[in-house]
Structure 1
Amino acid sequence: MTSDSASSSRLTATGVPRAGGAGAIGGRTVSRVGYGAMQLRRRGDRDEAIALLRRAVELGVDHVDTAQFYGDGFVNGLIRDAFRPEDGVVVVSKVGGDPNPGGTFQVRPAQRPEQLRASVEDNLKSLGLDQIPVVNLRRLDTGPGLRVEGDQVVDLDDQLAMMTVLRDEGKIGAIGLSNVTLDGLRRALPAGIACVQNAYSLVARGDEEMLRLCADEQIAWVPFFPLGGALPGMPKVTDDPAVIAVARSLGRTPAQTGLAWLLNHAPNVLLIPGTADAAHLEANIAAGTIALDDTAMAALDAARSHSTDLPLG
């Protein structure tokens, strides 16, 4: 890479430094600190939500994670209206669940191949895109969340066959996996996998071997619940004594310190912390500027890791 191309990779299409530096997903260069849009499903003020997305772009974010089942297309509509082609934002969505308005859970399993296709079509329509750069296949047989039964128990190979067809048709640019097991990822590698989204944080490092495999295969590791604590019984990064102590020494918040650890832990990590608050957005993005020396990393590495296998139903 020439010095000019290296310099340009540090900037977004709008000419601002990429939040957290430059990473890669699905053959595209993106900010290592991105934005997870799930929390916008509860945002009552549409104009404020769009302004928040615009602010993320101003701060150097060009990787945004979404799903059709976030507010039954509401969040995708916000993204469609907030971003312009010249912003260069890489939108990543997911399939494997459908909106479930009024249900106990806001998503219901939709694992069958024909449902995956329908979900991609729904995402394309609500996002106003001809192609979704990356689509994650959300499995439901590991990690925190729903579990499948009956006709929703579908073999991974059958799902990957459909995802490959959708990629060949140009409806999606690359295939990702979410809630996947190590064995499942290994089986999926021949299909060409761009990223893995699993629950993972400083205090929930059960997927360390999978993270190493992703690094070896140049697959982006995009942890959800990067600070833990999202579900009852799940440990919180911000409660860990080591995190609190290091944060205090740095003059940063425990949340920023936990996010910084993820970026420093492996070079293929991309973050998608979510928020509906502008100040919180700025704090999350600022985590990408934190330098952790060997002493701080050793202290954080010594924090206790817990299980994230917490089924909801």
Structure 2
Amino acid sequence: MTAPTTFRIGGDLEVRRLGFGAMHLRPGTAEARAACIAVARRAVDLDVTLIDTAHMYGWGANEDLLAEALHPYPEGLVIATKVGIRHTASGEGWRHAGDPADLRAQVDEALRRLRLDRIELLQLHRLDPGVPLPDQLGALRDLRDEGKVGRIGLSEVTVDELTEARSVVDIAAVQNRYSLLDREHEPVLKACEAADIAFLPWRPVAAGESGARAEIAAVAKEADATPTQVVLAWLLARSPVILPIPGTTSVAHLEENLGANSVHLTQEQYDRLGRVSEPA
């Protein structure tokens, strides 16, 4: 099976489909920071054109790191980030932050940290149950109209929430948890596919589980690939709107992940893998 290698987010922003999730790049020591910077730069060297981050990842530290590693950004590189969550010192360590004024402030903070004039893909990390959805998305729409945001995405939404959101503003992307072994959000993927909306699965590899499945290991052996590469190749073949964003803090693991671009599953292998975890 031959899958397309690129996708146009929002119909016009072309990226390579296999991207990089920067969530794990949270350095503590100077040595760890240098290693994280090396991973980010190696991703770009390997032709990654979509990198996903968020304010929540280190409360801005992840965005700062990417700017340090990659600015000035090469032409065609898209840094997507997420807003809508603030840090707290109690409870789960975070709270919803979907108030329009707060969203505006978060976008300005992200622009400053990333050293950008415009965020090409801005995603609402979580819908705030305490703020009407039209108010949250209306604020992002206004920021888009002002030129600070290019396209608007959502994260962790249901089909109904996606439908409601699309009645307020154009939605270019959805980021939900999804993998070969975790297909709970299959209906959301189908809705995205029908509307040509980019679907960015987070945790796309289900680390530590893929290699333990006999069928995945068997296909990996047949394809002369690793189990990680096989499950990523399955995602790329699953739907043309899927843009996996596997993350890592290791250059070797990064190179392994991106090697999935060269893995071509037969229809029979694809079908066998699909039976490993049928959606409910």
Fold conserved between structures, TM > 0.5: yes
Deviation of 1:88 (Å):
2.5
> What's the counterpart of residue 9 of structure 2?
25
Equivalent AA in structure 1 for residue 179 of structure 2: S
TM superposition score normalised by structure 1:
0.81
- TM-superposed CA distance for 1:71, in Å, is 1.3
SS in 1 for 2:119: coil
Distance apart, 1:300 and its partner CA: 0.6
Q: 1:162 corresponds to which letter in structure 2?
A: A
> 2:101 — aligned with what?
114
Q: Is the CA contact 1:34–1:271 (under 8 Å) kept in the aligned structure 2?
A: yes
Determine the C-alpha separation between the residues in 2 that align with 1:221 and 1:37: 17
Q: CA deviation at 1:43?
A: 5.5
Cα gap change, 1:60/1:121 in structure 2, threshold over 3 Å: closer, same or farther? same
Go from structure 1 to structure 2 and tell me whether the alpha carbon gap of 1:106 and 1:293 turns closer, same or farther (over 3 Å shift). Answer: farther
Unaligned stretches of 5+ residues in structure 1: 1-19, 141-147, 231-235, 308-313
Task: Decide which of 162, 177, 181 is 1:185's aligned counterpart.
Answer: 162
Partner of 2:60: 73
Q: CA deviation at 1:229?
A: 5.7
How far 1:82 sits from its partner (Å)? 2.0
Indicate the residue corresponding to 2:236 in structure 1.
263
Among 86, 110, 119, the alignment partner of 1:98 is 86
Aligned partners of 2:120 and 2:87: how far apart in 1?
21
Question: What does the per-residue CA deviation read over 1:239-261, in whole Å, with 9 as the maximum and x for residues that have no partner?
Answer: 33322221122222211111111
Contact 1:68 1:126 (C-alpha < 8 Å) held by counterparts: no
Deviation at 1:133, TM superposition (A): 0.6
- Supply the AA of the counterpart residue of 2:9: I
Q: Counterparts of 1:97 and 1:305 in 2: how far apart (Å)?
A: 33
2:20 is the alignment partner of 1:35: yes
Give 1:156 deviation, angstroms: 2.0
1:170 partnered with 2:147: yes
Distance 1:211 1:302 in 2: 18
Alpha carbons of structure 1 residues 47 and 106: separation in structure 2 relative to 1, 3 Å? farther
Q: Which runs of 5+ in 2 are unaligned?
A: none
Q: TM-score, normalised by structure 2?
A: 0.90
* Separation in 2, partners of 1:174, 1:129: 15
Q: Secondary structure at the match of 1:246?
A: helix
Would you say 1:204 and 2:182 are equivalent positions?
yes
Matched residue, 1:243: 216
The aligned length equals 272
Q: Residue in 1 aligned with 2:135?
A: 158
1:194-234 superposed Cα distances (whole Å, 9 cap, x missing partner): 1000011112212222212211211101001112369xxxx
Instruction: Read off the aligned partner of 1:61 and give its amino acid letter.
Output: V
Offset at residue 104 of structure 1 (A): 6.3
| C-alpha distance in structure 1 between counterparts of 2:207 and 2:92, whole Å | 18
Across the aligned residues of Structure 1 and Structure 2, the Cα RMSD in angstroms comes to 2.1
Quote how far apart the aligned CAs of 1:106 are.
5.2
> Of residues 261, 267, 270 in structure 2, which corresponds to 1:297?
270
Measure, in 2, the Cα distance between the counterparts of 1:185 and 1:67. Answer: 20
